[in-house]
A = this chain, B = another copy of it.
């Protein structure tokens, strides 16, 4: 942790499966395809959200009922197109812990190839006060363990 209370780690290769410890399989739906006959870009965001929600739920589980997160930035690099039917696997990992925010990274894989990578920034906020907040020590400990 540096003087600003920021814990981060060296950046990872998000297109490398070994970067990820948390995995979620998501079924491709026929409705995911667009007029070009491959999966629409916006659908990747919904696959990544499955992994992001599950990653953050692990941290929020020790946070009490008054805290949640809000996504403030989503960035996706599209590397390869894909088609229905089948499944994709989405890897997730924490990339950095700020005072009131976290950065997380994702990779979408199929048949040994990386289809997309993504970086997200989420802010912790207090559901009662309706403003950003700082995670409690227990949540922070779990996140630091996950980042290591």
A-side residues, CB < 8 A to B, are 24-27, 29-31, 33-37, 40-42, 45-47, 49-50, 53-54, 68, 70-78, 81, 84-85, 87
Contacts and interface: CB of A to CB of B under 8 A. Distances in A.
**This chain: how many copies in the complex?**
4
A81 B26 CA distance: 20
Contacts of A46: 29-31, 42
A30 B53 contact: yes
Majority DSSP secondary structure for residues of A touching B: mixed
A30 B45 contact: no
Contact of A77 (B29, B47, B72): B72
A45 B76 CA distance: 11
Contact of A33 (B34, B54, B73, B78): B34
Contacts of A26: 27, 29
Nearest to A33: B35
A83 to B, nearest CB: 9
Most chain B CB inside 10 Å of its own CB: which residue of A41, A78, A87: A41
